[in-house]
Amino acid sequence: MASRLKVLRVFKELHRTRMDVFKEDDRALTAARLKINDEFRKNKNETVEGNINQMIKMAAGVEAFLRQDVVQAEHVAEDKIRLRPRESLLLENVPYCDTPRNVPSSKSAPKQSCVDETIA
């Protein structure tokens, strides 16, 4: 019985993640829904506890991958793609710097950024 609850929990979590990851993309939402439902339906008669736990672990891994690594992109022109990252993926915005940073010799010295180096 505990396995059934775990299966239902990961099934619902996959669908919630699908709704968040593929927001406003009806084609991807439908394809993901069909794939999730098909995989769970295909294995609904599994009775071996070890196999069920392994499939639960795999489904949880897929959910984590979707949540952490998939970014929506929209083709807006022949040579342009617009990325639509989710709020949870936007952690820190660090400007790109072609030159390596100067590493201060002591911990008390202020850190230089790429902007500081170009101004100096």
Residues 60-76 pLDDT 10s? 999 999 988 888 888 88
Distance CA(30)–CA(18), nearest Å, equals 10
- Asked whether residue 98 is domain-assigned, the answer is no
Residue 108 lies in a domain: no
Residue 20 is assigned to a structural domain of this protein: yes
Residue 43 lies in a domain: yes
**pTM score, two decimals?**
0.66
Burial class of residue 110, CB neighbours in 10 A (0-12, 13-18, 19+): exposed
Residue 40 falls within a domain, yes or no? yes
Query: pLDDT tens digits for 72-81?
Result: 888 888 889 8
Residue at 27 is within a domain:
yes
Domain that holds residue 12: 2-88
- Domain-embedded: residue 55: yes
Counted domains in the chain: 1
Q: Which helix (H) or strand (E) holds 53?
A: helix 49-69
Q: Residue 13 falls within a domain, yes or no?
A: yes
Higher pLDDT, 97 or 105: 97
Give the residues across from 23 on adjacent strands.
Answer: none
